[in-house]
Amino acid sequence: MANALDSVAAMRLAELQDPAGVKQVPTRNGFGEGVIEAGKKNRNVIAICADLSESTRMLGFKEALPDQYIEIGVSEQMLVAMAAGMASAGKVPFIASYAMFNPGRSWEQVRTTMALNETNVKIAGAHAGVSVGPDGATHQAIEDIAIMRCIPHMTVVVPCDSIQTKRATLAVAAMNGPVYLRFGREKTPVVTTEETPFELGKAQIFREGRDVAVVVCGILIYNALIAAEKLARDGIECMVVNNHTVKPMDEKAIVEAAEACGAVVTVEEHQIFGGMGSRVAEILAQRRPTPIEFVGVADQFGQSGDPAELIEHYGMGSSAIEAAVRRAVARK
């Protein structure tokens, strides 16, 4: 497992606990920066947008690289199938909309024209999770990881903050094959630094501990780190694993974490059914049966509300993670 402990990420924990001291940046900003850099490095990289250039942060790309930018209006199925065609002709398309529609609306096009076709298309799913807030259930993608991770050949990446989203964007641009990259709308804590290593398919330890392995993907990493610090005061030491690549998952890292701790908690802003935690359970059921507790949305739809309010309501706040860790400890 890639050890990110030496990075400033781990060093800055004390600072992270002071909410006023945490820098907050939306993960989508990292995508916006990354895709421009990718487009400058490789002129075959193109950005295609479906009437959401500002909110998906493709606007900067449009301004910087207008010849590599394409606007197609509200047509998310077209977005995928057209990108697959362009990829077959040598382009490297990044396609952006809200995760609810891309890949939510276009699932069969993704399966056939991207995955079965093995075309080099990168889906950028913005505004994922209940944290999109007041727009409500229709716009809160919390099934997207499930529907993407079950497709052969697909790579699924859920970075934890804006810096990591930029790194991930550049990494998927450099690899060949279909990718789903997921990010969010709200400003969320920046827990990594420019020095934090990042490698696709390699989970990272953000905190050492031997009692419970807390395996996280996405922006809830911050809540997990806060929960771990609180639990440490009660003598429960959590290993916090940033499991950004949901597919192909770092199986070795998951098994090692389970072996080291003997209990696991998975954390994701997604349905519990079918998400990152389900994959962890599949791996461990087969290779090292271990008690697991799941933090995520429990088979419900979201609703309108303030993002932080919704994270709490659906049981994904730091206190819910703490409680899950205590349940996991009790089952050891």
Partner 1 sequence: MSTLTPQRLTELKLHANNVRVGIIRSLLAAGSGHSAGPLDMADVFTVLYEHVLNHRPKEPLWDDRDRLLLSCGHIAPVRYSAMAYGGYFPIEELLTLRKFGTRLQGHPERVRLPAVETTSGPLGEGLAQGTGMALAAKMDGKSWRVYVVTSDAEHQCGLHWEATMTAAKFKLDNLIAIVDRNFIQIDGSTEDVMPLEPFADKYRAFNWEVFECDGNDIAQFTETIEKAKTVKGKPSVIIANTVPGKGVSYMEGDYTWHGKPPNKEQADVALRELQAERERLTANG
Ligand X SMILES: Cc1ncc(C[n+]2csc(CCOP(=O)(O)OP(=O)(O)O)c2C)c(N)n1
- Shortest distance in whole angstroms from residue 305 CB to partner 1: 3
DSSP annotation of 217 reads -
3-state SS, one letter per residue, for 308-329: HHHHHHCCCCHHHHHHHHHHHH
Nearer to ligand X, 76 or 211 (CB): 76
Which amino acid does the sequence have at 13?
Answer: L
- 96 in contact with ligand X (CB under 6 A): no
Which amino acid does the sequence have at 56?
Answer: T
Nearer to ligand X, 76 or 268 (CB): 76
227: helix, strand or coil: helix
Of 182, 184, 96, nearest to 144 (Cα)?
A: 182
Q: Count the neighbouring beta carbons within 10 Å of the beta carbon of residue 11.
A: 11
- Shortest distance in whole angstroms from residue 36 CB to ligand X: 22
């049981």: which residue's tokens? 315
Cα separation values, 83 from 40, 75, 215, Å: 19, 12, 33
Residue whose Cβ sits closest to ligand X:
51
Nearer to partner 1, 73 or 248 (CB): 73
Interacting span for ligand X (CB under 6 A) from 97-105, 165-173, 253-261, 274-282? 97-105
Q: Which of 6, 24, 43, 74 binds ligand X (CB under 6 A)?
A: 74
Six-digit token string for 135: 């727009």
Nearer to partner 1, 28 or 166 (CB): 28
With contacts defined by CB under 6 A, how many residues of the chain interact with ligand X? 7
> Residues 99 to 138: which contact ligand X by CB under 6 A?
101, 105
Six-digit token string for 111: 């399966």
- Shortest distance in whole angstroms from residue 137 CB to ligand X: 13
DSSP annotation of 237 reads P
- Shortest distance in whole angstroms from residue 49 CB to ligand X: 10
Nearer to ligand X, 91 or 105 (CB): 105
Bridge partners of 157, per DSSP, are 181, 245
Which residues of this chain interact with partner 1, rule CB under 8 A?
A: 49, 51-55, 71-75, 77-78, 100-101, 105, 133-139, 303-306, 309-310, 313
Q: Which of 48, 52, 190, 219 binds ligand X (CB under 6 A)?
A: 52
Query: What is the Cα–Cα distance from 185 to 192, expressed in whole angstroms?
Result: 18
Nearer to partner 1, 71 or 195 (CB): 71
- 51 in contact with ligand X (CB under 6 A): yes
- Shortest distance in whole angstroms from residue 247 CB to ligand X: 25
Cα separation values, 169 from 22, 111, 157, 222, 249, Å: 23, 21, 9, 21, 18
Nearer to partner 1, 51 or 234 (CB): 51
- Shortest distance in whole angstroms from residue 79 CB to ligand X: 10
Query: What is the Cα–Cα distance from 314 to 316, expressed in whole angstroms?
Result: 6
Applying CB under 6 A, which residues contact ligand X?
Answer: 51-52, 74, 76, 97, 101, 105
